[in-house]
């Protein structure tokens, strides 16, 4: 099934026109979480630039299945 990962804030929306294939809603949620975690890992001090933005995952029917606040850390930072 196809899922779409849109970026949105209170005034703008960036629509994912291509989407991604996922076997289930759970798989789509996992893919979204992994993508956000990767961005946060690559830019650990960049959360401020994402304040107010969210990743919205929609299924092929347009049903919202997940929202991730991009201005909050998805996973705790681990400093060695």
| Nearest residue to 69 (alpha-carbon basis) of 45, 47, 38, 41 | 47
pLDDT tens figures, 30-79:
999 998 888 878 876 777 778 889 999 999 999 999 999 888 776 554 44
Q: What is the pLDDT of residue 40?
A: 79
- Rounded Cα distance between 37 and 75, Å, is 7
Q: Tell me the C-alpha to C-alpha distance, in Å, between residue 38 and each of 10, 23, 27, 45, 61.
A: 24, 21, 16, 13, 27
Q: What is the pLDDT of residue 78?
A: 46
Higher pLDDT, 80 or 20: 20
CB-based contacts of 44-48 (< 8 A; 24+ apart in sequence): 44/77, 47/71, 47/72, 47/73
Q: What is the pLDDT of residue 80?
A: 39
Tell me what the mean pLDDT of segment 9-16 comes to.
Answer: 96
């Amino acid at each position: 099934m196809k899922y779409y990962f849109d970026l949105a804030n209170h005034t703008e929306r960036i629509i994912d026109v291509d989407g991604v294939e996922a076997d289930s809603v759970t798989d789509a949620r996992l893919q979204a979480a992994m993508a956000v975690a990767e961005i946060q890992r690559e830019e650990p001090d960049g959360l401020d630039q994402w304040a107010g933005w969210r990743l919205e995952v929609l299924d092929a029917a347009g049903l919202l299945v997940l929202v991730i606040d991009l201005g909050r850390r998805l996973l705790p930072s681990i400093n060695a």
